[in-house]
Structure 1
Amino acid sequence: MPVFRIEFQTPGRGFHELTDEVTGHVRSAGIGTGLCHLFIRHTSASLLITENADPAVRADLERFMSRIAPDGDPDWTHGSEGPDDMPAHIRSVLTASELTLPIREGRLSLGTWQGIYLWEHRTRPRHRVIDLTLLRA
């Protein structure tokens, strides 16, 4: 069972596409049929599959989250790391900390317009770690 760790520095809030890196690990493992599991080891960032063709989709997702989990909301009691701390936790709870994708014929079974993303919810740069596990069927 191949296991990989993806580590990188985010520039701050926003999307970081992982599709090519994950695809490379699947290809190098030589798995024809199986599952690809991704798990992010953080509580203020998340993983998602969304459209990768039009960046306006990601901009609209960010605007939506800013409305439902605004930075500095006076109702938040947790804020030990700044005004984006609690909103980042809310955003990660509303999205996903793990993804499982099928592998078919040696490739991730993604739709034409789908991409894999880490969504950074903190405003400052962060070091992020994702565990990637590949299972053969």
Structure 2
Amino acid sequence: MTSTAFTTRVLDVTTGSTETVADLTRDCAAFLDEAAQGRDGLLNVFTPHATAGIAILETGAGSDHDLLAALHDLLPADDRWHHRHGSPGHGRDHVLPALVPPHATLPVLAGRLSLGTWQSICLVDTNVDNPHRQVRLTFLG
């Protein structure tokens, strides 16, 4: 759906067979170049998956790896989970969105993301059973 006030696009993201923090910041900025056309508004980033989330964090300096390590500590991939299909410990992946929500809404000023210096928009995916994800970007302005 496209109008002057509301534009949306779906990104197809391949996360592979390992736990991943995928930086989507460039994709979001490219979307806004087209959709926002210099306007102020909001960017909503949403992933329609029960085992993935959207996080705003620093990447490239180890924070992405630290996040995955922290999630491993909080949500170990063992047999404690009631949800038992898939890879061993897969039930933890279904708890992930309670800690890393499947959405984020960010301010857009003059058509650009209003992020802090070190902030990036990331898809967090600990589910090694599903290597293909979608992320919906929506600009409202």
Aligned Cα RMSD in Å? 1.3
Match of 1:112 in 2: 117
- Distance (Å, rounded) in 2 between the aligned partners of 1:60 and 1:40: 22
Matched, 1:46 2:50: no
Q: Aligned-pair distance for 1:75?
A: 2.2
Matches within 5 A, 1:94-109: 94-109=99-114
- Distance (Å, rounded) in 2 between the aligned partners of 1:45 and 1:84: 15
Q: Identify the match of residue 7 of structure 1 among 9, 12, 17.
A: 12
Could you report, residue by residue, the CA deviation over 1:54-110 in whole angstroms, capped at 9, with x for unpaired residues? 1x11111111111111112x3212111121421111122211111100100110000
Question: Is 1:84–1:122's contact at 8 Å kept on the other side of the alignment?
Answer: no
Question: Is 2:11–2:134's contact at 8 Å kept on the other side of the alignment?
Answer: yes
Q: Identify the match of residue 32 of structure 2 among 4, 26, 36.
A: 26
> In structure 2, the residue corresponding to 1:134 is in which secondary structure?
strand
TM-score by length of 1: 0.91
Match of 2:63 in 1: 57
- Distance (Å, rounded) in 1 between the aligned partners of 2:80 and 2:132: 28
Q: Matched residue pairs, number?
A: 134
Tell me which stretches of 4 or more aligned residues in structure 1 moved more than 6 Å: none
Q: Aligned-pair distance for 1:31?
A: 4.2
Question: Is 2:15–2:125's contact at 8 Å kept on the other side of the alignment?
Answer: yes
- Distance (Å, rounded) in 2 between the aligned partners of 1:119 and 1:5: 17
